[in-house]
Chain A
Amino acid sequence: MVPAQYYLVLSAAVFCIGIFGLLTRRNALLFLMSVELMLNAANINLVAFSYYWGNVTGQTFGLFTMALAAAEVAVGIGIILVLYRNFDGVDVTNATTMRW
């Protein structure tokens, strides 16, 4: 059996890939995908340690996370759609009418 610690390494790797994508991509849709990767990294931990601890708390919460990720994407796509209409594209760096 794979030791539980290995899952921590795997999830940390997936999480870091998500962060990397988020920092380097300018496309709002790729940004959403990166966030999805980060949430799924959390799910890996939850499911793996649910097995390790012998309860289903983590697995159940994993289902919650997936549902919330879907809800978040639904709102996000809506915002990206109006972004596309107002700024002629889904590049997140285009929207700079206010100064930082």
Chain B
Amino acid sequence: MTPLQSTPEWVATAPAIVLALTGLALLLIDTIDPDSTNNGLLAGTATLGALAAGGIAGWFLIGGTGMESTGGAISLYGDALVVDGMSLFFTLIFTSVAAMVSVASYDYLADQRYQGEFYALVLFAATGMTLMGMSNSLATVFVSLELASLPSYALVAFLKEDRGSIEAGLKYFLIGALSSAVFAFGISLVFAVTGSLVLPEIAASLAEGTELVGVLGLGVLMIAGGFAFKTASVPFHFWAPEAYEGAPAPVSAFLSSASKAAGFVVAFRVFTVAFPLGTVTSIGGGSVDWSLLFALLAVVTMTLGNFAAATQQNVKRMLAYSSIGHAGYALIGLAAITVDGGAANGDVLGASMAHLFVYGFMNTGAFLFIAMVEKWGLGRTFEDYNGIASKAPIAAAAMTVFMFSLAGLPPFGGFFSKYALFFSAIESGFWWLAAVGAVNSALSLFYYSRVVKAMWIEEPSANLEIGSQPVGMYVAIVFAAVGTVLLLPGSQPVIETAQTVAAALF
């Protein structure tokens, strides 16, 4: 049965509505009895809400809501929001990451205050990300981007007594405020040129040509800057190592997986719908060629991320830089779009989406393992990880899966999505992007395997003691590991779905 054939159209936004209502419910639960906090109830509600939203998105995706088979994308509220395959696909990423983070936070927050607020902020940020996926107007893009960002600032600075967390929150907030101001100015310049904020109308107005090519180019550049912040790509990447290192580890997991994917989904939609490459390259002698811009950013981002990661002594910071490197890989999806690419454009964009999907599992899992190590009170450097496998073999095995999958080794999900990405980039004629990506992947194996070596091969230091066995974190980590492994046989459907929904954009 196809969902939503006889229901009102706004029901298509159900995943976002469920997330927002769960966030409000969490605040309500927390308010009923302010003197005591039931951590288990809060974490359970947050996880169930995220899973329910994800389940609805998955059901819509399978049923074909907003896709070709059921009459195309559903646009709501005067085209301000649009529900299509891509928005549902990304909703699945956001909700699964939010669910894993909520489960793991049950242990991480056990002796913290303000637990209700923490889960509510996670859910509100996830609502904002889901809306980012649906945004079809620069106005909703900006509002939903802020809805995702503002809770994130508070989450990073959540440990109010911890100087690292405060510093991370401050830097994240300052650079975030700067980039959102730049983004807003970019929107105002595009509005000045086209007289509209709705993405398809902008494209229609640009198709008639404009004299203000310089203003348009500056506007597009500034909008790209806003996305570079959200996805932690060069040149707005420098907040990421600080914010991920200082933030509570579950928040780092949430930001580096879900928030990054949210930045990409909105960039994909804005650049393919509002500024189609064929249109913008035909005005002003091709000076607004954003594909070239993203190709440069992709190369610089992945090279910088991987080289910086290779020099780190701190595992969490290494993962932060590796997350920048992965943003570089995902940027290939935009960089390899060509004017007359046809189906190849959908393929490369879809491969990039599939990589973000797999990345959502493996990277969240890796940061949650770090959360567990923090919970055990071990240090943060590679040496502190020596011999963990002898004390906690299951968690160490899961971490090994994440590390090898992030590096793109064959038996794990990360291999297939990376392979599809590089392969479709070559098909679009960008063999050099694929080559740079492959070299960087090979380099990344060096620093990922250092973690594995420390855990399994190095002798544990004499006083290695791990305390409790946090159940929630184990559940989340094992879930992420199973997801990463299952995405090996499941990679074909995921990549095909992603490429189908991406092709609908062109």
Contacts and interface: CB of A to CB of B under 8 A. Distances in A.
Interface of A: 4, 8, 11, 15, 18, 22, 28, 31-32, 35, 38-39, 41-46, 48-50, 52-53, 55, 57-58, 60-61, 64-65, 68, 71-72, 75-76, 78-80, 82-83, 85-87, 92, 95-98, 100
26 contacts: A38-B182, A38-B185, A42-B185, A42-B188, A43-B188, A44-B188, A45-B188, A45-B189, A49-B191, A49-B192, A52-B192, A52-B195, A58-B188, A58-B191, A61-B139, A72-B177, A76-B177, A78-B154, A78-B157, A80-B170, A82-B157, A83-B166, A83-B170, A85-B160, A96-B167, A97-B164
A82 B160 contact: yes
**Closest CB pairs A-B (n = 7):** A53-B195, A45-B188, A38-B181, A95-B167, A42-B188, A42-B184, A49-B192
Q: What's the dominant secondary structure at chain A's contact region?
A: helix
A72 B192 contact: no
A75 B191 contact: no
Contact of B167 (A50, A57, A85, A97): A97
A45 B215 CA distance: 12
A39 B184 contact: yes
Nearest to A53: B195
Interface stretch (B142-150, B328-336, B479-487): B142-150
A39 B181 contact: yes
The interface centre, meaning the residue of B139, B163, B184 with most chain A CB atoms within 10 A of its CB, is B184
A11 B197 CA distance: 19
A86 B161 CA distance: 7
A41 B182 CA distance: 10
A61 B187 CA distance: 10
A83 B440 CA distance: 38
Contact of B170 (A55, A95, A100): A95
Given A43-B188, A79-B173, 14 more contacts: A8-B192, A11-B185, A22-B178, A42-B185, A49-B191, A57-B196, A61-B197, A65-B184, A71-B146, A79-B153, A82-B157, A86-B166, A87-B163, A97-B246
Contacts of B197: 57-58, 61
B169 interface: yes
Contacts of B164: 97-98
Nearest to A37: B181
Contacts of B163: 86-87, 95, 97
A50 B196 CA distance: 9
Given A18-B181, A68-B146, A72-B150, A98 B192 contact: no
A12 to B, nearest CB: 9
B70 to A, nearest CB: 30
Contacts of B167: 95-98
A72 B166 contact: no
B245 interface: yes
A75 to B, nearest CB: 5
B174 interface: yes
B242 interface: yes
B211 to A, nearest CB: 11
Contacts of B130: none
Contacts of A53: 195
B246 A35 contact: no
B188 A11 contact: yes
Q: What's the dominant secondary structure at chain B's contact region?
A: helix
B22 interface: no
Nearest to A14: B185
Nearest to B314: A98
Nearest to B143: A64
A87 B166 contact: yes
The interface centre, meaning the residue of B154, B182, B188, B242 with most chain A CB atoms within 10 A of its CB, is B188
A46 B188 contact: yes
Contacts of A97: 163-164, 167, 246
Nearest to B164: A97
Interface in B194-227: 195-197, 215
B180 interface: yes
A28 B170 contact: yes
Contacts of B153: 75-76, 79
Contacts of B161: 86
B299 to A, nearest CB: 23
Contacts of B142: 61, 64-65, 68
A49 B177 CA distance: 24
The interface centre, meaning the residue of A39, A55, A96 with most chain B CB atoms within 10 A of its CB, is A39
A44 B197 CA distance: 16
Nearest to B189: A45
B251 to A, nearest CB: 14
Contacts of A64: 139, 142-143
A34 to B, nearest CB: 9
Contacts of B150: 71-72, 75
A48 to B, nearest CB: 8
Contacts of A83: 166, 170
A98 B246 contact: yes
B91 to A, nearest CB: 23
B185 A15 contact: yes
Nearest to A41: B185
A41 B185 CA distance: 7
A55 B173 contact: no
A55 to B, nearest CB: 7
Interface in B226-251: 238, 241-242, 245-246
B50 to A, nearest CB: 23
Contacts of A98: 164, 167-168, 241-242, 245-246
